[in-house]
Structures are given as C-alpha cells and as structure tokens.
C-alpha cells in the first residue's frame, strides 16, 4: 500500500504552495508540509528570509518564488510560474493596530488588500488558469479575531479576517463542482516574533495567557498541523469549515 493509503494525513506526492512563508506561521506550515512529504513552493516578499525557510525544510524538490501578492503583476507572474497544485495555503498577512476613531483610508486599504483582496484574487487567478487540480485544497489562515471575538484597536484586522471567512464559505460552494475544497484555520494568539519589539512586556504576556483555559499561547507548528489536516486526504469530506485553534480562548 502507498504511504497515503496507510496514513491519510500524508502529503506525499502533493504540490503545495504556501504564501507568507518567510517567517512565523507561514514558515512553520512550509516546514511541516515538507516533513509530510509534500513538494512545497514558498513565496513572500523577502528573499533572504525565504532562503532561511528553504534551508529548514526537509527533503528536496522545493522551490521559492519572490512575490508581493498585493501587487497585481506579481500575482500574475506567480500564477504563471506555479506548477499544477494539490494545495494552496494563503498565509500572508499584516497587523495594523489603530483605535477605531483613528482609522484612515490608507491604513484600511493596506490591511484589506494584503489580508483579504490579494489572497482572494490570487486564488481566483489560480482557479481560472487551471493551476489547482481536481480534489485540490485551499486553506486560508484566518483568525478568531473578527470571527469569534475582538480586541481594542483591532478593527481593521478583524474586518479583514471576517471577510476571509465569508469569502471562504462562498468559494467552497462555488468550487465544489470542481472538487476543490476551501477551508480556514482560525488561530488564537500564537507565539511568534511579533512580541520581540517589546511593545508588550513579559508581565502583560503572563497575565494574558491566564485568559486561555490551556494557560498558554499556541505554537506556529500547531497551526501547521491543523493546516496539514485540511490539505490532506484525511479531510476529503471537509469544505467550507472554519477550524478554531485557540487553546479554549473562545470558550470564555
């Protein structure tokens, strides 16, 4: 029996494209997918950090394509360069914190473009150019923010993630006839380098973690494992779903 028959979570023989793969959750997804046997195409704006991701991946046959998905010509170029894909992970995203009265058009446009518009249009272009094979899986990395809860100063980010989950459900319906599944992973707070700037001190982090029933933040690898499930044949009857990975935060 083949590896995929013995282990439905295997990605052996699958081509997976991961956006935002230069750091954090995107890097973890790319690395963990490579461990599961996938050939992974990684993309982001920073070539040096993409090379770092590539150096941490397992096996061979992986590749990187430099692109800024918020720029139309880069999306078009990436679609042209992409091979036939079994999976797409839309992970690229940004955070901009502003209290609502100070939200401005430029900031809102930037957040919505990077977090929502770019991955939506990129996914549509891949489908139209027949780059996603039958039974392919698209996974959006969304958030519990805007979908299950909110935080102060987070209105733009919440709006973009709420929009992602909305379009994901409609995509799942529209693409079902092609056998393409579409789902999202919705993490709570994840331990990444976002805290390295010292904006939030250690004491505040300790207090915040107490709000999680499991008393800690998640790890990038834990988001990757959920993503692998949705990319794999183990989830072949799952589409239009939002998988919450939050250590029980939204139970409160």
d(CA 155, CA 163): 12
* Contact yes or no for 75/125 (Cβ under 8 A): yes
Sheet holding 63-66, edge to edge: 63-66, 39-44, 15-19, 85-90, 132-141, 181-187, 242-245
Closest CA to 11 of 231, 172, 159, 206: 231
d(CA 232, CA 6): 13
CA angle 38, 81, 9 (to 5 degrees): 15
Q: What is the enclosing helix (H) or strand (E) of 151? A: none
* Residues with active-site annotation: 157
d(CA 148, CA 28): 24
State the DSSP string of 168-237: HHHHHHHHGGGT-EEEEEEE--B-SGGGTTSSS-HHHHHHHHTTSTTSS-B-HHHHHHHHHHHHSGGGTT
């Amino acid at each position: 029996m083949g590896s995929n028959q013995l282990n439905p979570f295997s990605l052996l023989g699958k081509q997976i494209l991961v956006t935002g793969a230069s750091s954090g959750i995107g890097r973890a997804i790319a690395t963990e997918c490579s461990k599961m046997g996938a050939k992974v195409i990684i993309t982001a704006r920073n070539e040096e950090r993409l090379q770092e991701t590539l150096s941490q991946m397992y096996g061979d046959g992986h590749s990187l394509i430099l692109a800024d998905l918020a720029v139309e010509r880069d999306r078009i170029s990436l679609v042209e360069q992409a091979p036939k894909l079994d999976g797409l992970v839309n992970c690229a995203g940004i955070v901009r914190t502003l209290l609502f009265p100070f939200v401005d058009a430029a900031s809102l446009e930037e957040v919505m473009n990077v977090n929502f518009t770019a991955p939506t249009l990129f996914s549509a272009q891949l489908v139209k150019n027949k780059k996603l094979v039958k039974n392919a899986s698209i996974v959006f990395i969304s958030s519990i923010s805007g979908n299950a809860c909110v935080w102060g100063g987070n209105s733009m980010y919440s709006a973009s993630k709420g929009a992602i989950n909305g379009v994901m459900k409609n995509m799942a319906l529209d693409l079902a006839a092609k056998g393409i599944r579409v789902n999202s992973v919705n993490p709570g707070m994840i331990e990444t380098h976002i805290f390295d700037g010292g904006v939030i001190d250690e004491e505040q982090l300790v207090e915040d973690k107490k709000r999680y029933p499991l008393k800690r933040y998640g790890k990038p690898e834990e988001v990757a494992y959920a993503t692998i499930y949705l990319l794999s044949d183990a989830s072949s009857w799952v589409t239009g779903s939002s998988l919450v990975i939050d250590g029980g935060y939204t139970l409160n």
